[in-house]
Structure 1
Amino acid sequence: MTESDRRGTIVTFYSFKGGTGRTMMLANVAWLLAANGYRVLAVDWDLEAPGMHRYFRPFLADEDLKLTDGVIDFASDYCVAATLAHSASTSYGPAQARDLESEPWFADAADLTRLAVPVQWEFGQGGTLEFVAAGRQGASYSTRVNGFSWRDFYEKFGGGLMLDRAASLMRKRFDVVLLDSRTGVSDTSGICTVQLPDTLVTCFTLNNQSVDGAAGVAASARRQNAALRVLPVPMRIDNSETDKLDARRLYAMQTFGSLVPGDSDGAREAYWADVEVLYVPYYAYEESLAAFKDRPGQAYTLLSAAERLANLIVSERPPGPVPHTPVHAVRMSESRRQEVLAIYEGKARRSATSPEVSVEGATVFVSYSRVDGRYVTPLYDRLAESLGMRRVFIDSAFVPGDDWQAAAERAIAQSAAVLVVVGPGWEESGPGDFVAREVTIALESGRRVIPVLVGGATLPAPDVLERHGLGRLASLTPAVLPDPVTQRDIDRLVAAVELASEGRPTTPAPTPYPFPSPAPSSAAPYGRSARSDDVIESVLKAERVNVRSQWIAIASALVALVSVVAALLVLLR
């Protein structure tokens, strides 16, 4: 079967109430599938309470997701792209939405897989695991989530068609896509339970509200999507109260009724007996993967339960390049297992098992002299936020013992552009031998070299550059960054980098991906159009107003508290 014939399956993990262990089970199933040769994508769509990344944290380059865009950024960027492509008053009704697919910006804007980051582990058998976060974490995350209108997303911007395209691309590029859905009944849980999945894994505990709520949502989803496969999974099963447990099992079986797979009562009873997940107190304390705690082949463990569920998920998966062989836990060396387990338990630092520095996929290499290092850190942070951390290479990624020069040469070879930071230090001590070598390698290999002037520095005279072997820099147009750097300056620099990635000249530049190009008459030499800046500035302004309002509310509450305390003191006297 060729890549063009690939069709994966999308599986949503849902729970009506929190605390069921839904995300924990999804993470373990994802790991097992990857270890058995499947190409797996795990997506954290629980926007209000994201946490899947904590299970993969030892294996993520950006472990706290401070620079990693995700689902909410994907949806927001799509709305901005649609706004820029058309007037803000345009609404995409059914007829207009069908025309979206023919627009040049739509395909990239609807591709959620471009935000996937690798879970860095050698799975073997060709298996891979990639992860899409809920969104870039930080002070503005809750503002971005709470301020986003899913109603406008669907009604004004044709979001339904966009999500259909996103699902199609995920099925094409991965064997199994696992979505972690929001609990309860909400806009985002509807997306994950009805529109996107082929299979709905409904996790619940055996109390009334959890059983009734999960069964009700599953039944509603099935009515809206008749082809939807439902897998109810009782979680946190405690055998200490056997009489109550038997009664609650029977209640769950009756409530879910015919939603359960099986063409006979016997088949459905066998399903229920096989799918239960026991409560294991160990996993209540840290977000850790059972592959590193439980041993393969042991019964009554979280790992064995994840194996059974993983096999159920792939048992009716569409035909693909990976055969439907049984999923099983893969043994690893005891020393490796203990090292990772110690990280999960907080007994060791992540560096003990950090993968080697990877420069694959880097878009830009930042070359700088140590004397100008204070200008580089904020520049790197802003670039990584705009491009993604894995697309910006800087020497701070190295750990002691790395072959610095060889790794830097590989990074330059894989980069589309090299930014040469020229700061005040150049006037005192010159660029340094390493910078000179990096620039020479970049120029000789045909990479675009962009001098970046920081701290009020100017490009040295041609004869001075020539003495350091950098004479060719004198003919290159520099990017001048003020202090402090503004987002507009970063956008212009990012635009030049993106165009270099495409092998295109940087002047004049269209709007950088993922936004559509403005009309030629409004094109700027670098960066977004004025219209794009207006849209983005309005979003930022709204966030600033929201944050200011929150501080005013806090201050008002403090004043009220002081007044109450003062009144109490008067009464006590």
Structure 2
Amino acid sequence: METGQIITFYSYKGGVGRSFALANTAVVLARWGYRVLCVDWDLEAPGLSYYFDEHLASPANAGLLEMIEEARATPGTGELTALRHRTPVRLPEGAHLDLITAGGVGDETYISRLQQVDWEELYEEHDFGATLEAWRDEWMSNYDLVLVDSRTGITDAGGICTAQVPDVLVFAYTANQQNVDGVLDIVDRAMKARDGLPYDRPRLLTVPLLSRFDAQTEYEQGEVWRRRLAEMMEPRLRDWAPRGSSAGELLQRVTIPYFPVWSFGELLPALTESPRNSEQVTYSIASLAALLARRLEDVGLLIENRDSYVETAEQAARQDFEVDVFISHTRVQEPLARTLQRLFLENGVTSWVAGENPRHRAQFADRCRHLVMIVDETGEDLFQNHDTALFLRRSVHTTTERLTFPVVTSSAAIRELPRLAQSLQVFNLEDGTPAQAARAIAARIRRDSPSLRPHSSRSGRYDVYLSYAHADSNWTLVLAENLKRLGLDVFVDEWEMQPGDHWPSRLEAGLSSADAVVAVVSTDWARSDYTLQEYALAAQRAERQQLIPVLIGDVVPPPHVAERNYVDFRDALTPRAYVEQVRQLARAILHLPEDAPLPRSASVVLPDTLF
């Protein structure tokens, strides 16, 4: 993963299986190959280490309490103390993770030392907020996932864990009203506290974790509670739930059923059970682990095909690619595949050709990061279909980007694309040479020339067409990337144009096939005849095409722009303000109310103007 994320596990009451869920989630992630750190922040009632005691590489004589004491004694040294007291945990079969315990709990002075911790004094007199930020940075730089076990109830330490520390808050609860009311109140407090932090943070994402739920013996009562809980938890799911999904469907995927055998002691079923056996508790733990590893993205697949979702999360952690590209081809097109292989090498891209290892295509494809598939007019090829199906299943929106590039020999060959590849972008050799295709694919892989990205072969519509002046290209491409990450289909010419395209007709096709036109209005935009022409054309289509101006820089909007509902980025000078405007724009494009969830929750790229 590019940057780690911090996930707090919280519960309002004890005894709901919070630490059990955290410890076993950590084991699943570590066995998949993720770099995992667990932090026991339940200082008053530490217990996370009990799950790992027999696997500790050495006794944990110090932990979080000692880190806090060091921060009090020497403020400003957070980057030095963040990982000083971690303890390695050695799991079977070579898996491992790290643990920061609550502290030297065997020390008879632990309780008296803990009682001397004054959180308000730490923040006001010892700059603990800056120390905690330094810890966060170090943790996220060294680990893929940091799982924090929080204190229950309403406490200062619990507030730190739920508001300042996490990127994601997993709150565990059981099916009783006291648990539900209490935990939702704390979550609401955390959201408000998060908004008031003096740090740039994205919106806190929350995951309701229904724990120890037993609907087998009392099926009717169980169904009543499922419906009730789905209604109550729906607001906490909005930020990452896929459009069209129900809260009940998601709640089912984030429920840990009750198994009496795991109620005794501090046990790790994740070490012995299969994550694919739905009759075992690790099945539910693995679903949660995959959801967190994949940053709460592409949740529609979790609902529709849970096993594929978990498989791609596991695959993303372990992947160590040997070669850049696997070239899949039919027997007839092997000469063209060899030509592309040579051209790729000239452009600094390594590749394997399917014909080199016909009996082991799947194994070799798995060792390549990207897939190029050559398709001609002769019809579908079974081996190629298998290549594509396997590759897409294992790479769809994983944390490691894996791209598929169809190369067709003619426009007629587009109809012969395997079904799974029909919505992908295509390189048509009628519009260019193999050398141009190789250069464009190599550039896309290296990301050093976005203008050489392939154009789309799909016949459907776009959510939005971006109209902009050339001088605003960099800012607009960042906006396009962010809209795409939020689940919108975006037409921007630098992504869609390919050498050989007829520019005017291609732009007109994109403009006419978009549900909305976003005009990036700047001083340069206002001086461009072409952008003004696009704006006028979109304005004439008002009945069937939405027109949304976006204001940037120091532009003064012309009257024909000012009269419309526009999105104003001129004062969006901080990451938080920029993100809010991007989300506002996405909702306007999709005609969504202000509190409605977007199709996807994702990290945001910031434009150069914010640096």
Scaled by the length of structure 1, the TM-score of the pair is 0.49
- Tell me: higher relative CO, structure 1 or 2? Use CA pairs within 8 A at least 6 residues apart: 1
If each structure's strand is expressed as a fraction of its own residues, which one has the higher value? Answer: 2
Scaled by the length of structure 2, the TM-score of the pair is 0.46
